[in-house]
Every structure is written in C-alpha cells, then in structure tokens.
Structure 1
Amino acid sequence: MNQPTHTIPSREEILGLFRNAGEPLDIPSIAKALRVKPAAYDVLTRRLAAMERDGQVRMDRAGNFVLIEHTGFISGKINAHRDGYGFLIPDDPTQEDLFLSDREMAKVMHGDRVMAKVTGVDRRGRPEGTIVEVVERGNSHIIGRLLNENGVWLVVPEDKRIGKDILVAGSPGKAKAGQVVSVELIEQPARFTQPSGRIVEVLGELDDPGMEIEIAVRKFGVPHVFSAAALKQANKLPNEVRAADLKDRVDLRDVPLVTIDGEDARDFDDAVYCEPVKIGRTNGYRLIVAIADVSHYVKPNDALDEDALERSTSVYFPRRVIPMLPEKLSNGLCSLNPNVDRLTLVCDAVITAKGEVKAYQFYPAVIHSAARLTYTEVAAVLGNTKGPEAMRRQWLVPHLLNLYDVFQALLKARHERGAIDFETTETYIVCNSLGKIEKILPRTRNDAHRLIEECMLAANTCAADLLIRHKHPGTYRIHAGPTKEKLTQVRNFLKTVGLSLGGADSPSASDYAELMKKVKDRPDASLLQTMLLRSMQQAVYSPDNIGHFGLAYEAYAHFTSPIRRYPDLLTHRAIKAILLGKRYEPTGINMAALNTTISNAQRRQAAVNRSEGKEKDEKDLTIWDALGVHCSANERRADEASRDVEAWLKCWFIKDKLGEEFTGTVAGVTNFGLFVQLDQLFVEGLVHITELGADYFQYDEARHELRGERTGKRYQLTDRVAVQVSRVDLEARKIDLVLAGADSQPMAPPRAGGRGKSAKGANGANGGNGAAAAPAVEGKRSRTTTTSRYEVEEVEYKPRRSKGGTAAKKAAARAGKKTSAKTSRKKR
C-alpha cells in the first residue's frame, strides 16, 4: 500500500520565516505561514526535529521553536572539487577553510553561500564541518550538454565543479541529445534530491565555431548581453562629436597625435604626441597623452554606467571581444579613430632628459588623430628612417623620433628607480575560419610596444599624483611587495644556487632588478627569473595607496584605458571633479550586486594584516573599497574565462597529435609530476609522477625538483625533456604527457638563442605551475593576454582519479562518437 506524500517547505524556507518573524514560533504558526496542510504536520514536525538536531533551531520551555544564534557557526562560500568533496571558504579570512565531505556536498553546489559548523578534523588534519544552512544559492542557470539516459533527459554540467547532473523537467523541446544548453534551475539539490530545471537556451553543438566562448562566458558568469536600457541609451548618442560638446575644451586638432596599437585592435583609448622643449637651459620634452573621454558620454548611475560597472572590464578571447561598453562607443564615438574629431581627457607633461616628470596638467580637449599606426609599422620606421614604412609616413617620422627620444629618457628613469622588467614571451593564437587554433605564435615585443608602455606609465603616475595632491579618493593600482612566506621560499631557493636577494626582510624592486642583472647571462637564468616572478603578489585596485612594487612607483593609478576598464573611468571622473574644484563620490550603487570575491593570496594577506593589527576598521570602509574589490574580482573573472577558452582551444589543437613526440621545457614541478611546455606549440601538459619511471621520486620544494631515491635522477624547472602526448581531456582542459623513452633523462638547458628555446611562462592548457605569461605592459596591457607581469595567479592542478574502462565506454557512448580525446565521467 502506497504511503501518502506531502510537500513541505525546505529548511531554507523555514529558516527564512524565523529570520523575518524575529520571535519564537509554534508548529501551527509555522504551518500557517508556509501553507502546510494539517495532514502534513507530522512530516513538518520531523523536519523541525532534524533542524533541532543539526543546531539550526531549538525548542524553548513553552514548546515554541527559536532560531539559534549563529555564534560559533562559520559563514562562507562553497568551493567544490570535481571529485565530489569541497571546501567552505570562510568570509572571515583569518579562519581556516573547512573541508566538506561528498555527503555534505550533496546538499549544495559550487558557489552557494552557507553557514556551517566544525565537527572535527579529517584524516589529513584539516578542520571538517557540516552545512547547517544554505543562505544563498550561487547558481540559477547551469550550462551543460543534454543527454538521454534510458528515456531520462539530463544536463551534464560543463563546469566539473558541479558534480550533479540536472534532471530536465518536462520535454527538452527542440534541443537534441549532445547539444550544449542552458538550464534554469527550478529545484536546488538536497541530500536526497537531484537538482532539476528547464531548458531555456540551446547554444548548439559542442564543436560549433565559438562554442567554447559561449560556454566560458556562462560558466564564469561574465555578463555578455547589454541591457535594453543601455542599448537604447547608446543608440540615442550622436555618431560624431557635436559643436556643443566642444565647450570648455582645449582644441588640439592641429596637433598630429597618433594612435599606436596592435594590428587586430579595434578600440583605441590613447593617442600620443611629443615635441622637444627647453626647461631652463636644459633640453626636455613635452609629452601629450590624450585618452578617450568616456566619462563625457557615460554618466554615473545611467544605464550604460550600470552595465559597465557590472562588467568592469572588457574580456578578450581569440577572435572575439566581450566589450565593457556597447560597440557604438567602444569602436565608434569613444574610440580615437583617425581623421575624425574625438573628445579626450589629456595628460600634458613636461619631462626632463633624465626621464623625470617636471610638471603636468590635465584638461579636457578635442583631438583629430593624424594616423592609426601599428607597433610593427612604428618599429619599422624607428629601425630604418629611410625604409619603405618611413617613406609611406614621411611627414610623421620627426614626430615618431621625438616619441622615441622621450621613451629613451623615461626608460633611463625606469632603470634608475629599479623597476623590475622580467623577460617573458607572450603568445597569441591564430584561428581558422571555424574558430579553432591554426597555430600558436610568440608575440615579439619591439621598441614601439615599450615606447607606448612608458608613455602610458607616465600618464598613469601623473593621475595618481593628482589624486594624492588634492587628497581625492580613487582606485589606485597597488602592488604589494612579496609576503614573508614567499620571500622565505625564494631566499631558500637562491641559497641552493649560491645567490642572495638584497633588502633583508623588506627588499625593494631595485633589489630584484639588481639580482636580475647578475643572473641574466647564467645558463639557469630562466629558472631564476621564474622563481623571482613567482614570489610576486597580484596587483589589485584599492583606495589605500601603498605604491606599485614591481614598477617601483610610490603611487600608480589606471587612467589610460577607460573604454575597457572601469577603474580608469572612475579615475577620469575624479580628475574632472578636481579640475572643477569639486569632489566625486560614487553614489546610488547597489552594494549587494558588487562582486566581493577575493583571491586566496588576498585572504592570506588579510589574515596576516588582522594578526598584526593592520586591518582596516569596518567603520572606515568606503564605497571606494567596495569598488576596488569588485573591479579586482571581475578582472580575475575575465582572466579565468580567457584562460578557460585558450585551454580548451589548445586541447582541441593537440588532440590530433596523440602519440606524437615533442621536446619541451619543464615549466612547473609539483609533488605529483612535471608540467612541460612543448617547444614551438607553446602548449603545456602534465607528466604524472607515475610516468617518470620505476623509482620513488621525492619532491624538493626548496629546489623545485623531483629526485629519484634509487637512481638519483632529477627533474627540475627549465630542464629539457622529450615527451609524447598520451591523452587529452577536453572536459577538464588538460593534456597528459609521458616521457619519450623508458629511461628518458632530462636534457641540458639550451644555449641562449638556441633552437627550441622555451617560451618562458606561457600559459598551457593545464593552467599549471609555469609562470604566467606577462603582457607587454602594465600601463597599456596587451588585449590578447590574460595575466599580467605582476599578477601571477596561483593555479592548482589536481591529479585525476583513474577511471575504469566501463565508465570510459559509457562516456563515449553518451558523446555519440568515439574519440580518444574524450574523457570518461565518473560512475554515478
């Protein structure tokens, strides 16, 4: 005989009722408020008893239920692992992460906000806990592939941190098995309940052109559709500068300013001009850096501003850009296109022959760009003033030579102050008409790149100085020095190779630069540079100016890219307010909508600051603090999405090379294996420790090497090895390699300039421990690069658990076609 079933409220609904009521409640009151039928009172009572057992509610002497105070509970965000377990990342950075077993993780998804309590420690000594309450769900939509298993329609999440398949409620409609779809959740997971949802969008087949980008923007929550209000506002804007817009602007239309960008650039933020001047009796330069005046068109709290704040940055993928502003502004009205009038905010600076900024002023202006130049063109002109490129732009050659002269002066000052300049190789992906990788090439930095970099850095430092002089708040671009932990690690490593880093407990950028000079001609220079780069912290946005360690600036702010970076737009508004004798304070912002995620490194530093009494008091936090965290978090989100797409494309690129042998460079060493970057392909894969031969390998963290106990065989960073591609996991974006030959020994490092020289630090498909590729500049960042020279994000690679052949066959059957590059999914 079937038992009658009753629908009763979830724990979240019951807890929400208690929070709103703010007083004890009896069962009839709870049932009435949540519309529970009398026949279901027994089931409701059992649920309340379970909540009492789990420490969510308690019963008072009158028999009423009371919400238990959350003292002793830990609030935070769920960080799930693809193998089923997870961690609670506490909101309080001084608290340790809480391990959550797969049983606990059955209640939640990656990204959910919860309350938990510590129940003990796991076998590895980590604090372990149980989830008491789900405060907020982190996922309303899931992206994944639609499958049909025995007549049941499921969506298998693309994000492998979400380990639960989504049951499709009702018919899949026009969606077909194997297609990528977006499903809206209508029921969240519980311990004994599988999540379910309805299909709201069909993206297409997995191998459709650009599908990896469609997946990434949804997987990482990158806003990619402008609001109707923002598009309406953009459409109302004029197509060109109007006469009324020129009021109170300096007319620079007769000044031959030029833009210098990459060949594939479409949005031009900056234009430059230089002329020699006299400073007293000495020679100097007048440098004009004109930046698109986005703040003229995007006003605080309007629809365009709200969308720009939500995005915070443009996101650059191979063959596609998700812009911060609609195309009418980013590629049109705000872009400093040649031969048209454009509104700008100008930094007009006088610079000495030694590269020191003697004076500067900011003012709104109108310009008429004389030419749209590329780095390649300018480098060719500077390299040969009588060559064909110079002849084509003959009237501009003197102006370009002036820019080169001020660049040399600024470069002299850079070396004088001891800024760090890591020699890294940046790569870019060349795609075919289907959006798949055709080849991966190194991007060569020339003097034109460096020229623009120094001009942008000069303007950015002037902007920061203006904020400080007028005591106006803003979002500085700060870069802290190395932490004590990282400093200890790098010093210990340097000791093993007979070197030392100056500066005692507080080294300066010049100490790093001095060491870089000493080691640049050593055969292990690449290894040493990698270790120094890894000791760096990430650069972030903050109203608290602590300077920029890597660039050796006392103050630095982003001013030069307001088309694609929201902090630059904030800086423009602050500067304009200063020019008018006013003060700009962002208001009307929905604080609840801001991104509050901070990186692991920031959490650790926050814990250190609190223990040392350096933490900022909560009452002193302002909107500028919140905006700094928001913009930093969204910048990391954009980088993660870009890396994910590049990793997928690299896996797709390499999957046709299974079994082929390559030479490569060890780009990372961990306790579970080696990350090897393949020569010429600039793709990174993992040689698991079990593939290193019949020996027990010990991991030496100080030396960053694996050493065999029996054979003494060693594998260290920058060693050269021969490898074979053994497996490609498209779902996990990982490439497995094996050593080519059972007794393969690491080869000697190549001589400088030798064949097969590695691309130091290029991001591989595995996102492993190789140093992140640096863009050409901090001041003007390469639009195709995802990580910055001083912004190396810590990336952890988790070894996969081996899976049986039956599971692999089942996965291949689901995919509808058999391929060695497909991954097997864990048996449910």
Structure 2
Amino acid sequence: MAKKTDSADPGNDPYLDREREKYGSPVPSREYILEQLQAQARPLGRKELAELFGLTDEDALEGLRRRLKAMERDGQLVRNRRNGYVVVDNEELVRGRIRAAADGSGVVHPDRPGPNVYLAPREMKRLLNGDRVVVRLTGDDEAGRPTGELVEIIEHANREIAGRYFEESGIGFVVPNNKRLHQDLIIPAADRNGAKNGELVTAEVVSQPSQRRQPIGRIIEVFGTEIARGDEVAVAARTHGIPVEWPDAALAESAQIGDTVPERSKQGRTDLRDVPLLTIDGADARDFDDAVFCEPTDKGWRLLVAIADVAAYVQPGSALDAEAAERGNSVYFPRNVVPMLPESLSNGLCSLNPRVDRLCMVCEMQIDPRGQLLDSHFYEGVMNSCARLTYEAVDAIHNDRDPSLKREYAEVIPHLENLYGVFKALRADRRQRGAIDFDTTESVIEFDAEGQVADVHPAERNDAHRLIEECMVKANVATARFLERNKIPALYRVHEPPAETRLENLRQFLAQTGLTLGGGDEPSPADYAELMAKVRQRSDRHLIETIMLRSMMAAEYRPDNAGHFGLALDAYAHFTSPIRRYPDLVVHRALKHLIHKKPVEAFPYTEDQLVTVGEHCSMTDRRAEEATREATMTLKCRFMAERLGEAFTGVISGVTSFGLFVELDEVFVDGLIHITNLEQDFFHYDAIGHRLVGERTGKEYRLTDRIRVRLAQVNVDEGKIDFDPVAHPLGPDGEVLEKPPARSTKGAGKGEKKAGSRRKGPPRSTKGRRQRR
C-alpha cells in the first residue's frame, strides 16, 4: 500500500506573492516544491504532489504539470522508473557540466560546490564537452575520485562544430578543432555542401551522439584549406561555440529602443548632469561602462562610481535578455569584439559617451583616509560625462609629461588629482588587508593599415589602470555587502582558497628555493603577499610568482558568498560592467529591486536559477578566454611565419615532460622546444622543481631560465610554433654563461618522470592568461 501523503498548505509558500504576480492561477513555487519533496523523504508522482498541495482546479493542475516539466528541463528534478520525482543535488544525484578529456573520459563540474565527478568513456558515448547532465554517484575509483553514471542529459551544448573535413572510404566526417570534443562528426554525402578533403568547415549538429553511433551533422560554412586573413576570429568563435549572429527578434527589440534617452525615462532619478563624472578607458574602447568622480570630505573622500543602466533597457524575458544570457559576456578579440548586446546599445545608448545624457546606476561611497569603506548607498541617476579620457592620457597629465594635454583637459585636472588622492588610500587598504597583486603581463598585437600584424609587444599598465581598478573593486565590495545585508538572492564573484594538492606542490617547489609559505594548511592572502614581498628583489622572482599564480583556483559566479581569496575580501560581486558581463546585469536587477523597496520574496530569480546562471556565466567566461587565446595565437603565428630561421632571446615559460615552452623577449610570442631537439640525452622531468635534467650530461633546464632559440617551424592553423635551442643558459644581458655544475636527479621529487628523444609529446597548449577578478 502506498504511503499516505500529508497535506502542505500552499499559503505557507514563502514565494506565493511572487507567483501571484507572474500567474493568474499560481502554483507552488519551485522552492516550495523542492522543500516539500525533501520533507516527504521519498519520490512523489504528479498526482501525489497535486494532492499534497490541495490542487483541484484544472488551471492549477496544468500549471503544476508545466512547472514540474520545467524543473526537469532545468535539472532540479528527475523521475524514477515509477514516474516519481526525485530532487537533484542530493547525496546521490549531481547536476553539472561535462568537461571531456582526449581519451574519451570526462568529469562533471557540479553546479553547486563539491568535488568533480569522473565519468568513464562508456558513460561519455552520448555526451560531448560542455553538455549539462545529471549523474548518479557510484563510488570512488582507485585514485579516490568520485565516479558517476549518466542519469539524464539536461542540455546539449554543441549546436555547431568547427573543424577540418575529411573523407575516408567514401565516408565524410569532421574532426573538431576543439580538442575536448572527442567524437568526430559524421557528414552524410547529401550534406557536405561542396566541402573538399582537408578543408576547414563549420558543421551544424543534426543529431547528437547516442550509445551506438557518433554525432551526425551537415556542413554550413567552408573556410578553405587554410585560415584566411581576417577569418581568425570567426574560426575561434565557431570552435568554442561563441554566438556571433544576432536573432532577428533581438535586433528588432534593440531597434525599437532608439538612440537617445527620452525625457520620461529621466524622471524620478537623481540628476548628476552637473557632476563632472568622467570615463577613463583604453584608447580602443567603444563601450564605456563606468564613470567616476571624487571630492575630499572631512571624513576622507566622497567617491561616485556611475555605471551604465543596462537594466533600464534589457528586460527579463525579452529576446535581448535571452541572447545576452546565452552569450554571457562580450568577447574581446584583437581588432574585433563579439558583444553581449547589439552595438546600438553597447556602443550607443547604454555607453557613457561624453556630453550626452545617459541613464546610470550609482554607487556613492564614503572612503576614509586609510581607504576603508565607511558608508555606501545606491540609486538610479541620469548623468552627462564631461570627458572621455584614456589611461595613457591620464598618466601623462598626472606625471606632467604632456603640456598640450594639460591645456586640453585643464577643467578636469583638479578632479583627476582627487581621484589620485583616493587611489592612494585605496592602495593602502589593499596592502593592509593583504590582497594578492600579481602584476602579470599580456600581449598587444599591432596591425598595419592593410590589417596585417605589424608588431607584438607587452601591454603596459600604469597607475591610471590601477586607479580605475581600485575604484571598481571598492564599488563591487559595497555592492556585495548591500546585497548580503538585504538577504536577496544574487550572484557573487567567488574565488576559493587554493586546493590542498596545489598547495602541496607549491610548498615542495618553495622548499627547493629556501622559501616557505606561511599560514600552515590554510594560508591567507596576506601570507601570499608576504612571500611576494620577500622575493621582489630576487633574480628568480618571475619563476616564484608564476608557480604561486598556478596554485590559485579559478574565480566563478555563485549565489553562495564564499568570499574572494585573491582580493582578500569577505564579499565581492560584479556590478561595474553590465554592458559586457551578464552577471553584472543580474546584480543591477537585484539592486533596483531593493532601491524600489520591493519585498525580497518577490525577486524574480530563485536561488536555484542563480546557480544555473552563475555556472553558465563562469563557463562563458572560460570560453571567451580560450577563444581569445586561440585567435591571438593564430595571429602571432602568422606574424612569425615570415621570420623562419631567425634567432631570438627568450625565457623558459613552461617545462613539461615533452619539452620546453619559450616566451620571446622581442615579440612576446611563445613556442615549443620539443624534447627531441635537446641534447642527445635522456631527461628527467621534475614536475615539482619545474625542470628537465639530463641523465648523462646533468644539463638542466629550469622555468624562467634565459635561452637563445632559432625559429624552426610555424603552423598557423594549429597555432604551433617550434624552436631549436641555440645557447643556454644566458645571463640577464644575453651573455652565454658557463655550463652550470651537474645536479643529481635522484630524489628530485615524486613528480619526476624520465623523458628522452624517443618520447612523443601531446599537442601543445598555449600559455594561460591572468586570472580575471
């Protein structure tokens, strides 16, 4: 006999008011359904749930059916064999996104905090990288990893796949460019669209993989045998699944919005048009998210950070909102941008362009002389930017290097000096709380008038960059505190402390340099900062900082506030870039909800929806970085292809079991010296010491050693550069040093592997970029 279902009063649903606003015949909220299922501690069918909630009206029963179906679609519930609903994210079921490996296995990155779940190749046959799934935990493998089996596919991530088309024995197939897509795409003869063997193509996925067959597709775009000049961005975007084309509905909505702020939209807002707010951005920026103003007070500083009010134009449920959510963020390629919003908004009506009225969201803060936040409040405003400045111009004005710029911007110079005043206080606060400040370098690609790569060089950062960064960080801190204080569901930018295994590797490396990281098993950001201060004057500073950076976790978006380790903050949320980051737009909606004094329970986002949004935006953040890195490497390869045979000086930027990665000084490009091109010797790979050591000769190659190389080969399509060694080691001025004494490789560490000229290395991976905050 079935167990009797106790009744649950729908009037006890804490989100009943929100449901009444949304639906004429409200049904229990998702939260209340999950709560009651967990309280029953057993699966319930749809009829049992209707009985539990006392629903008899046909409209209410239909509403329950649709809600349960939507909760299945979003991975909140799954049905067992008896059609009973089971809550996901419990002790047995895990919801998350697949990250596939080249061997056909994969791991599930859970939506909620928790360990990754390993999936064997047999469980991956129906899946591709990026798919969202529900898996059932089945135990641990020999390595102690949680293992799982596939329960349900929530969403297939790959609609189009870029790769190279081949034909063998009359069968056509596409080998994906993305190495994490471990299955080739079968192309029927009728769907080849004229593609020839070996050509780069984009294929639409017509049928996803099943347990017995590979995915099937049809070719929709042909690039040719090589990546043509100008196609680098298109290929990188297609490879990583970045949407480029705009849906007609989204374009139609943006066209209806117009290009000027109507007077009715300015009503009820704080008028800041007489406040000399100004923007400071890169010289090539077109979308201006933020403007700043500062003045001294008897308590320290009054700092205003005004942010484009995107939420005033992009409404939840609209086609624009759906596309922005899908994109997750703008993607900034060399020369090109794939924006999150149509350009009429991102570069037009939302952008805080100079001398035009714009709607804004304002964070007004009181900063004390020590740089600490005394008070803050948020409001909707209307502003008129008094100037558009670049980082380079501000730096030149402040350091008195350009009299003509000082004359041109004479009216704003006092305001710039005030900004530098609060900047000093904010920097002092950063040092006091022990924030980690990895001042890493990124590359800049310069193009000539014909669009060809003319130069590659390191990007330069000055105090104007840091000034804006500190103002934005403080506004984001104020935002996170405000949201947390009001207990409204929101997205935080979370940066977890380093994992135990990464810390162990870091400590083993530091032991070889005579250094230690304080803090025991749980080092603080201040412990990292203290160690960085100790190595600042050392010749191997770059080596140590690189290894420290690699010990860090990736930042992500989550509705549970776990703080930001790198910035040494208890609460941090992204508020300052809603034009180019979807999480910021969600945060703006939460702020507006509170500003207009609406009840928290009526906020349209549920906590579980924010889990899903945060996970998706964390993925699009990583996707953007991978695509940008790939496009940049293609351009660098094209630049270097004309310099074959030339010799360059560089630094060893990576040490692997299959060779050395070298970053060149002059052109800021990195490539590989394969281990087969080193001395005729067997080399031991010491993963902890980040070095290769010759077994016979004792020759040692370490991370950050200086080396002279010759450019041997460039593969533009695959983004690979190969070097031959010329001289090693080099001194700081490029002089060849005497051969260092041989070092014993015995006991080099548990990460040691033997490698030699017969070893074949896997495809090279490009060097990672600075962790986004």
Per the shorter chain, which TM-score range?
Answer: 0.7 to 0.9
1:534 matched residue in structure 2: 550
> Is 1:745 matched with 2:712?
no
1:97 matched residue in structure 2: 118
Q: What's the secondary structure of 1:636's corresponding residue?
A: helix
1:268 matched residue in structure 2: 288
Q: Give the whole-Å Cα distance in 2 for the aligned partners of 1:457 and 1:181.
A: 42
**Offset, 1:574:** 1.1
AA partner of residue 738 (structure 1): D
Single out whichever of 89-98 and 649-658 deviates more from structure 2.
89-98
CA contact (8 A) 1:467 1:575 kept: yes
Q: 1:434 to 1:148 in 2, by over 3 A?
A: farther
> Is 1:508 matched with 2:528?
no
> Is 1:291 matched with 2:307?
yes
**Tell me, which stretches of 5 or more residues in structure 1 are unaligned?**
1-21, 23-70, 592-620, 752-764, 775-786, 791-828
CA contact (8 A) 1:427 1:440 kept: yes
Which residues in structure 2 correspond to 1:182-331 (within 5 Å)? 182-186=202-206, 196-203=216-223, 206-279=226-299, 284-331=300-347
Q: Give the whole-Å Cα distance in 1 for the aligned partners of 2:518 and 2:139.
A: 46
Q: Give the whole-Å Cα distance in 2 for the aligned partners of 1:737 and 1:586.
A: 61
AA partner of residue 443 (structure 1): A
Q: Deviations over 1:578-635 (max 9, x none)?
A: 122224679888x9xxxxxxxxxxxxxxxxxxxxxxxxxxxxx622222221211111
Q: Deviations over 1:774-794 (max 9, x none)?
A: 3xxxxxxxxxxxx53x6xxxx
Q: Deviations over 1:246-288 (max 9, x none)?
A: 1111111011111000010000001111112212xxxx22111
CA contact (8 A) 2:226 2:717 kept: no
AA partner of residue 557 (structure 1): A
2:161 matched residue in structure 1: 142
> Is 1:345 matched with 2:361?
yes
Q: 1:638 to 1:156 in 2, by over 3 A?
A: same
Q: Give the whole-Å Cα distance in 2 for the aligned partners of 1:540 and 1:132.
A: 26
Q: 1:421 to 1:192 in 2, by over 3 A?
A: closer
**Offset, 1:568:** 0.8
2:439 matched residue in structure 1: 423
Q: Give the whole-Å Cα distance in 2 for the aligned partners of 1:495 and 1:343.
A: 55
Percent same amino acid at aligned positions?
A: 47
Q: 1:463 to 1:730 in 2, by over 3 A?
A: same
CA RMSD of aligned residues (A): 3.6
Q: Deviations over 1:553-584 (max 9, x none)?
A: 12111111010011111111111111222246
Q: Give the whole-Å Cα distance in 2 for the aligned partners of 1:721 and 1:270.
A: 43
CA contact (8 A) 2:161 2:241 kept: no
**Offset, 1:138:** 5.4
**Offset, 1:188:** 5.8
AA partner of residue 396 (structure 1): V
> Is 1:643 matched with 2:651?
no
> Is 1:524 matched with 2:540?
yes
1:797 matched residue in structure 2: none
2:56 matched residue in structure 1: none
Q: Deviations over 1:211-236 (max 9, x none)?
A: 12112222211122222211111111
Match of 1:488 among 501, 504, 513: 504
CA contact (8 A) 2:187 2:219 kept: no
Q: Give the whole-Å Cα distance in 1 for the aligned partners of 2:472 and 2:105.
A: 41
CA contact (8 A) 2:713 2:723 kept: yes
CA contact (8 A) 1:707 1:714 kept: yes
Match of 1:86 among 104, 110, 117: 104
Which residues in structure 2 correspond to 1:538-557 (within 5 Å)? 538-557=554-573
1:686 matched residue in structure 2: 672
Q: 1:386 to 1:723 in 2, by over 3 A?
A: closer
Q: 1:148 to 1:548 in 2, by over 3 A?
A: closer
Q: Deviations over 1:377-401 (max 9, x none)?
A: 1111000187221111111111111
Q: Give the whole-Å Cα distance in 1 for the aligned partners of 2:469 and 2:249.
A: 36
Q: Give the whole-Å Cα distance in 2 for the aligned partners of 1:76 and 1:511.
A: 33
Q: Give the whole-Å Cα distance in 1 for the aligned partners of 2:309 and 2:695.
A: 63
Q: Give the whole-Å Cα distance in 2 for the aligned partners of 1:622 and 1:588.
A: 12
Single out whichever of 191-200 and 671-680 deviates more from structure 2.
191-200
Q: 1:386 to 1:91 in 2, by over 3 A?
A: closer
AA partner of residue 246 (structure 1): K
CA contact (8 A) 1:675 1:686 kept: yes
TM-score w.r.t. the length of structure 1 is: 0.72
AA partner of residue 353 (structure 1): P
Q: What's the secondary structure of 1:218's corresponding residue?
A: helix
Which residues in structure 2 correspond to 1:154-193 (within 5 Å)? 155-160=174-179, 161-162=181-182, 164=184, 166-170=186-190, 172-173=192-193, 180-186=200-206
Which residues in structure 2 correspond to 1:803-814 (within 5 Å)? none
Q: 1:453 to 1:325 in 2, by over 3 A?
A: same
2:712 matched residue in structure 1: 726
Q: 1:443 to 1:584 in 2, by over 3 A?
A: farther
Q: 1:75 to 1:245 in 2, by over 3 A?
A: closer
Q: Give the whole-Å Cα distance in 2 for the aligned partners of 1:447 and 1:221.
A: 36
Q: Deviations over 1:763-822 (max 9, x none)?
A: xx987585x443xxxxxxxxxxxx53x6xxxxxxxxxxxxxxxxxxxxxxxxxxxxxxxx
Q: Give the whole-Å Cα distance in 1 for the aligned partners of 2:97 and 2:583.
A: 26
Q: Give the whole-Å Cα distance in 1 for the aligned partners of 2:579 and 2:463.
A: 25
Q: 1:152 to 1:503 in 2, by over 3 A?
A: closer
**Offset, 1:131:** 9.8
AA partner of residue 745 (structure 1): H
Q: Give the whole-Å Cα distance in 2 for the aligned partners of 1:181 and 1:74.
A: 36
1:820 matched residue in structure 2: none
Single out whichever of 659-668 and 648-657 deviates more from structure 2.
648-657
Q: 1:578 to 1:79 in 2, by over 3 A?
A: closer
> Is 1:476 matched with 2:492?
yes
CA contact (8 A) 1:113 1:137 kept: yes
Q: What's the secondary structure of 2:298's corresponding residue?
A: strand
Q: Give the whole-Å Cα distance in 2 for the aligned partners of 1:471 and 1:72.
A: 29
Q: What's the secondary structure of 1:711's corresponding residue?
A: coil
Q: 1:363 to 1:128 in 2, by over 3 A?
A: closer
Q: 1:135 to 1:576 in 2, by over 3 A?
A: closer
Instruction: Count matched residues.
Output: 654
AA partner of residue 699 (structure 2): K
1:561 matched residue in structure 2: 577
Q: Give the whole-Å Cα distance in 1 for the aligned partners of 2:554 and 2:601.
A: 27
Q: Give the whole-Å Cα distance in 1 for the aligned partners of 2:109 and 2:302.
A: 49
Q: What's the secondary structure of 1:429's corresponding residue?
A: strand
Q: Deviations over 1:95-122 (max 9, x none)?
A: 7635539xx9888765568989999999
AA partner of residue 524 (structure 1): D
Q: Give the whole-Å Cα distance in 2 for the aligned partners of 1:553 and 1:120.
A: 35
Q: Give the whole-Å Cα distance in 1 for the aligned partners of 2:491 and 2:150.
A: 37
**Offset, 1:485:** 1.5
1:709 matched residue in structure 2: 695
Q: What's the secondary structure of 2:728's corresponding residue?
A: coil
Q: 1:77 to 1:329 in 2, by over 3 A?
A: closer
AA partner of residue 300 (structure 1): P
Q: Deviations over 1:653-678 (max 9, x none)?
A: 22233333222101111222211111
AA partner of residue 503 (structure 2): L
Q: Give the whole-Å Cα distance in 2 for the aligned partners of 1:349 and 1:235.
A: 36
CA contact (8 A) 1:168 1:199 kept: no
Q: 1:293 to 1:584 in 2, by over 3 A?
A: farther
Which residues in structure 2 correspond to 1:598-613 (within 5 Å)? none
